[in-house]
Amino acid sequence: MKKIIYLVALSFALNSCDDEDITFAPYNAVSESIVLRNAEDFENMLRGAYSYMIKNGGDGGYGSEFIIDSEVMTDNLILKVEGRQTNAGGFRLQSVPNSSHFNYYISAYRAAETATRVIDNIEIIPQNAARDNIEGQARFIRALNNFDLVRIYSKIPTQAADANASLGMYYLDVVAPFSKPTRPTVQDTYKKVVDDLLIAADKIGTTNTVASGKASKAAVYALLSRVYLYLGDFPKVIQYGNLAIAGNTVCPRTGFVNLWKDTDIKAPGVLFKLRIDQVDAVTPGVVYNQTVASGIRSEYVVPKSFSDLFQTTDIRKAAYIQTSAYNTIPYNHVIKYLSRLTGNPAIVDIKVLRIEEVYLNMAEAQYRINGGGLAFLDAVRSQRYAPFVSGNETGPALLNAILLERRLELAFEMDRFFTLKRLGLSMVRNAVEGDYASGAGTKVETTALTIPAGDFKWQLPIPQFQRDLNSNLQQNPGY
């Protein structure tokens, strides 16, 4: 996706000496009435919104920070001492307002602002299916980015009894650069997320494809299933999950390794991805590791205790983890974002929404409704193990199986931190194993072993530079 960035500002008027009104445009700005004239202009602005989600200038976005920032605060990874020590503060649970490892604030709001400009001016073009499709995508982008902000910086509704009334995040649906909004409640923010997604589901086109990098109806339904899971509205998880999986299939076992190498432009099982072309020079995989002459030099590796949870018959182990030596020492390297079969290393598309997550959302929701969910769980498991025999679990064993499968399927995919958070659980790392594949090596510092349930660190600090710009922006408790 080639990046298109718009600088849009209002023109201003000055009174001349003869009192005639003269209107000037700033030298670095173009008015929206000039930029947005036809459907193609709006499509270009949408590309800009998608682009902000990938990367905002030199940092942020799904394409650099998001895919690692949430994972480093979990038990899925361990800091490798011989790496570059990037995001080490996040791994050590040391984020503070002036130095937070989670860097998605600007990217999310810029994507949401660009989408809002599209929505605000959509009536410029004639009412037809193409216009509806543009608006539907814009509302999806706005909802997704505002949702990401609220799940990062605020409590999740199912996390605690007081979550809904606690500090949410300002929902950027009005372009007002000089406003200084306060933070609404979590409940208010989630309501706006849902409202946008429901409109998006109604308006978005039926021909958008994963290969194009555009959001589709299935993507909107998949995001609704996720949002309703966070809200604890389990019947709605099932309702929109069924709509998302209709006509789509779980990525088959035979194609799963190559899914992560982008060998099939249709990306089986993927419902929404952010396309990254070679010309973009965005390298998502670099945040995990780099390929050098002496092997894979990783920033973070997989702890032995987690690697061992993948059975030998599980195709995901080959797709996600490679055990190989760096400087003669074997490590469990994350290879999910290592490279395509051709092209520069570390450049791959970002899979944001997959059908497998939807099935796991539905499995958990069904369990919480009536103790069921096995069929949804087995829809995923049957394509990951060979041979596959259902465990036919019931009761607490079934819930444990659903949550285990979620951890395995969505490993290193921006899910583990938020799953622990929404369930109100603690994050607990193994205190005795080190960063080597064998479990030896450098261990986690004792101060970074756990985030207790209910701890303030589950809500990341609002960046101080944002509070310097907006004195009404309340900081999260504890910072």
- Tell me the residue ranges of DSSP E strands in 176-261: none
What proportion of the chain, given as a percentage, has pLDDT over 70? 92
Per-residue model confidence (pLDDT) at position 242: 98
DSSP 136-163: HHHHHHHHHHHHHHHHHHS--TTT-TTT
**Residue 28 phi/psi, 5° resolution?**
-110, 25
**Would you state the pLDDT for residue 309?**
98
**What's the whole-number mean pLDDT along residues 306-325?**
98
State which amino acid sits at residue 48.
G
Predicted confidence (pLDDT) at residue 27 exceeds the cutoff of 70: no
Q: Is the pLDDT of residue 9 over 50?
A: no
> According to the model, what pLDDT value does residue 11 have?
33
Q: Terminal CA-to-CA distance of the chain, rounded, Å?
A: 37
Distances in whole angstroms, Cα of residue 468 to Cα of each of 11, 95, 310, 464: 27, 18, 46, 6
Does residue 24 register a pLDDT over 70? no
Q: Which tokens hold the place of 173? A: 């649906």
pLDDT in tens, 39-87: 999 999 999 999 999 987 656 789 878 899 999 999 999 999 888 999 9
As a whole number, mean pLDDT of residues 311-323 equals 98
pLDDT of the residue at 59: 60
Q: Which residues touch 115 (CB under 8 Å, ≥6 apart)?
A: 46, 49, 138, 139, 141, 142, 145
The pLDDT value given to residue 20: 45
pLDDT at residue 104, rounded to an integer: 86
What single letter denotes the amino acid at residue 395? G
The larger pLDDT score, comparing residue 39 to residue 7, is at 39
Convert the pLDDT of each residue in 220-257 to its tens digit: 999 999 999 999 999 999 999 999 999 999 999 999 99
Question: What was the pLDDT predicted at 102?
Answer: 87
Decide if pLDDT at 12 tops 90.
no
